[in-house]
Every structure is written in structure tokens, then in C-alpha cells.
Amino acid sequence: MTTIPSVLPNDAPVRIVRAPEPLPLYCTRCAADVGASAQALCSTCLGPLQPQYDTARPLPSRRELRSRARSIWRYSEWLPFRGAPVLAQQVGFTPLLEAPQLAHELGVARVWVKNDAVSFPSLSFKDRVVATALNAAQAFGLTTVGCASTGNLANAVAAAAAAAGLPAWIFIPADLEVAKVVGTSVYGPHLVRVRGTYDDVNRLCAQLADRFDWGIVNVNLRAYYGEGSKTMGFEIVDQLDWRFPSAVIAPMAGGSLVTKLHKAFSEFAAAGLAHGSVPRIYGAQASGCAPIVRFVQSNARAVTPERPQTIVRSLAIGNPADAPTARDAILGTNGWAHAVDDQDVAIGIRRLAEATGIFTETAGGVTVAAAYALAQQGRLTPDDEVVLCITGNGLKTIDAAAQGISEAPEIPARLSAVEALVAATV
Ligand SMILES: *Cc1c(COP(=O)(O)O)cnc(C)c1O
Ligand SMILES: [Zn+2]
């Protein structure tokens, strides 16, 4: 009999801590000043909002940056707050691992894997965006948080909210992978499975943000949330000793990550922190949900929403919010976009595992498979130095990886049985 108290769902009393001061927002379409607030869109023109950084703020040197703790907060001058964070202080600084075998196979000079499969605490790059969004929620006095999620964001919000002692309302499509459901429920949030696609869930959450006083991280805190993605780019440059790679390949769902990678590289270039030119940015999606890839590859004026049909649930956003800025990031850097068939996702997952010892989820399989396709198309060249952004952990999508893996032999516990197996392998 256990004596551990269980108080699920987690509605424990909220601790009040002094939050950092969020930067004011402005509208990227009509330039309206919005002030610091939990607001999804510009109230005048419905344009997207962004934090307004003081262009005269003092910036740190490389040496100063290197003296700071290894977390996303090392780059605080480029994060949307004044003052120190009170939540999620440990997030970030995942490994950047060189992968010579992949470089050889792709026919490029060097390859590194940015490994957010081991992101703290919830094993995906969504820990970064939740870290910035939750500090904004705290500052705005929003003591209940939430999200619309394809899975990883649900894990990240639930984990961070539990650590902060905040109640959370989390909305996911009803048919999500069991590991992502359990990996959310375990933290004790109010988890709600919605019949419909992610886009239905997202629309519902837009209404909820108006109806309740909640900080929905990717809706009314989106301007603060998105900036957290930049830290993946900052870390890549820092870990390469202030050099840019020549190309970066990243998966796309709503298109925020590739947009913010571009912003991060541009900011470090402007600050004189990195040598060389900003890397070419390549975006990858699954063919069964590739609205941004098709948008990049066509001359269309607007993205055409799709109804997702793919095993890559984490990227299954049919109506991506950041498609225009994602396309600008990709085309503005002479990059490209590629869609990967579901059967190649499992191959990509296995190739990365065998070549680097890193087990990624379906989104990582998309990234690796896209790298091989881009190399084959001649878009990666022998002098290229490529970073693959691996954004999530393979233990969350076991079924996808299990495809095509042969069953391990079962034997009696006898020496002769192993001798027979060993003999059969030579
Ligand atoms: C959310 C997510 C992405 C990309 O998300 P954007 O919405 O494009 O920023 C990539 N990989 C994984 C594993 C994700 O969960
Ligand atoms: Zn506006």
C-alpha cells in the first residue's frame, strides 16, 4: 500500500513568485504597438504579433556568453523579457553531435545532429517554447496554462506546469499515440481528447483563450512562445564555436521553428557573434501533411490547408500559422523544402539510430529522410556543413520505428543455442 498522496488532476494552490517583465508586442502587419499582453493577434488587423526588442540594449560578447550557465537563458538579451526567468531555468543546451558516417553517406563535408531528443524535461524541442511562454504566463498573472497540441507540446506544458505547481488544461486530437497521451497524463493536468484534427483543436483553443483567463501557450502567449525556438539556433552557433554551418535541415509543423532558426541566425550575424553567411534553411514535412512544402515549391500566394493523413502526428498541422514566414526563411536563404513518404520515415529513424546512436521520433525520421533526398537532388554539395535538427524522442513513437524491424530470436537459456546463433551470423 502506497503512502504517496495522489491529487490528480493537479490543482494544488499556486505559488506566487516574482516574474520577469515581458517585452511589449507590436503587429508585424500594421506596426501597431500592442504593449506587453497575452494576446493572440493584432486587434486592429489580425496580424501576427512579435516582441519589440530595444535596439539600443547592450549585447554580451562571446566571452561573456560563454561565462553563463548552459541553458536557453544564456541568450537572454534575445529572449522577450527584462529580468531573470523564474520558471523552467534548466531548459536547453542539448548536445550537438558530429556524425561522420552520415556526412559520408550524404556526400557532404560534415554533419552534426542537434539532439533535442534529449531535451529536458520532456524530450522534445517544445520544452524551449514552453519555457518562454510559462514565464510570460507567470508575469501576466495567468495561473492556469494550457495548449493545443499534436503531442510533444502537451508533454512539455504538462511537465513544466507540474514543476511550477500550475493547473493545466491540455487539448489534443483524440487519436494521438499512447506514449504521448500517457507522457502527458502522468503529470496530472486536465487532459482533453478532442474528436477532430489538430486544426479543430486549435480553433477550439482560440475560443477558450477568449472565454477563460488562461495562458494558452501557442495561442494568446504565441508571441512569447515562438521566441523560445530561437535558442536552438543560438546553441548551434555557440556549439560550433561561433561559426555558421552552411545548411540546416529542420522539420515543420506550424512553421515556427524554421522561421525562428532564421531569426536566430540573423540576430547573431547582426550582433557580430557569428562568422560567415546565414545558413541555407531546409524545411521537411511528411507527404501526408505537407502544406508548407507545397507552398514553398509553388508560386501560390497563400498556403492551401490540408487534411492530415500521416503517421507523423507531431507534424500533422494542416493549416500552419507560420507558413508565410517559414517560406520567407527558406527561400530567403536559398534553401528548399521536401516532403517525405511515410514508408521512408521508419528508414530515416533507423538510419539515424544506426549511424549515431540517437533514437528519434517520426519528425526526426522525416528530417533524416529529407536530408538523403536533398543530397540526391544535388541540393547538398561536397563542401556543405550540415546540421540536422532532431526535435523529438523515439520512445514516444515506438510503433513507427517497429516497422520493418525483424523480431529478435527467442532461445532456451543454453550455451549451445547462442553458439548456433553466432555460427549463423558468420
Ligand atoms: C512541434 C514540433 C516541430 C515543429 O514545430 P513548428 O510548429 O513548425 O515550430 C518539429 N518537431 C517536433 C518533434 C515537434 O513536436
Ligand atoms: Zn495589426
For residue range 8-60, list pLDDT tens digits in order: 555 555 555 577 999 999 999 999 999 999 999 999 999 999 999 999 999 99
Q: What CATH number did the domain enclosing 232 receive?
A: 3.40.50.1100
Cα of 265 to ligand 2 centre, how many Å? 26
- Residue 426 pLDDT level (bands cut at 50, 70, 90): confident
* Contact partners, residue 288, CB within 8 Å, separation at least 6: 308, 309, 310, 311, 312, 316, 342
CA gap 305, 283 in Å, rounded: 17
Q: Answer whether residue 415 is part of any domain.
A: no
CA gap 66, 44 in Å, rounded: 42
pLDDT at 405: 85
* Contact partners, residue 2, CB within 8 Å, separation at least 6: none
pLDDT at 14: 54
Q: Answer whether residue 269 is part of any domain.
A: yes
The cell numbers describing 55, all together, are 535596439
pLDDT at 8: 52
pLDDT at 276: 86
Q: Answer whether residue 380 is part of any domain.
A: yes
pLDDT at 19: 77
> For cell 545532429, what's the residue?
113
| Enclosing domain of residue 364 | 96-122+227-401
Say whether pTM exceeds 0.85: yes
**Mean pLDDT value across residues 304-323:** 96
* Element spanning 98, H or E: strand 96-98
**Mean pLDDT value across residues 306-312:** 96
Cα of 85 to ligand 2 centre, how many Å? 29
Q: Answer whether residue 151 is part of any domain.
A: no
Residue 5 has pLDDT above 80, yes or no: no
84-88, 99-103, 365-369: lowest mean pLDDT where? 84-88
Q: Answer whether residue 363 is part of any domain.
A: yes
- Residue 67 pLDDT level (bands cut at 50, 70, 90): very high
- Residue 299 pLDDT level (bands cut at 50, 70, 90): confident
Cα of 339 to ligand 1 centre, how many Å? 15
> Hey, which of 122, 128, 152 would you mutate to test ligand 1's pocket, going by the most ligand atoms within 8 Å of its Cβ?
152
Among protein residues, the one whose CA lies closest to atom 14 of ligand 1: 314
Please count the structural domains in the chain: 1
pLDDT at 12: 53
Q: Using CA atoms of 285, 286, 291, 295 in order, give the dihedral in degrees to the nearest 10.
A: 60
CB atoms within 10 A of CB 213: 11
Question: What share of the chain in percent tops pLDDT 70?
Answer: 96
> Hey, which of 94, 126, 295 would you mutate to test ligand 1's pocket, going by the most ligand atoms within 8 Å of its Cβ?
126
Report the atom number in ligand 1 closest to the C-alpha of 362.
13
- Residue 295 pLDDT level (bands cut at 50, 70, 90): very high
Among protein residues, the one whose CA lies closest to atom 11 of ligand 1: 391
Q: Answer whether residue 58 is part of any domain.
A: no
Please list every protein residue whose CB sits less than 6 Å from any atom of ligand 1.
Answer: 124, 126, 152, 229, 251-257, 314, 361, 363, 391-392
Q: Answer whether residue 412 is part of any domain.
A: no
Cα of 152 to ligand 1 centre, how many Å? 8
Q: Answer whether residue 48 is part of any domain.
A: no
Report the atom number in ligand 1 closest to the C-alpha of 317.
7
> Hey, which of 217, 312, 315, 359 would you mutate to test ligand 1's pocket, going by the most ligand atoms within 8 Å of its Cβ?
315
CA gap 14, 164 in Å, rounded: 8
Ligand positioned closest to the Cα atom of 151: 1
**CA dihedral over 392, 227, 290, 372, signed as positive or negative:** negative
Average model confidence (pLDDT) across the chain: 95
Cα of 324 to ligand 2 centre, how many Å? 16
CA gap 83, 93 in Å, rounded: 20
Model confidence pLDDT, tens digit, residues 241-267:
999 999 999 999 999 999 999 999 999
Give the closest residue to 253 by CA, choosing from 315, 318, 333, 337: 315
The answer to whether 251 touches 152, Cβ cutoff 8 Å, is no
Report the atom number in ligand 1 closest to the C-alpha of 129.
9
**Pairwise pLDDT comparison (8 vs 284), residue with the higher score:** 284
CA gap 72, 90 in Å, rounded: 8
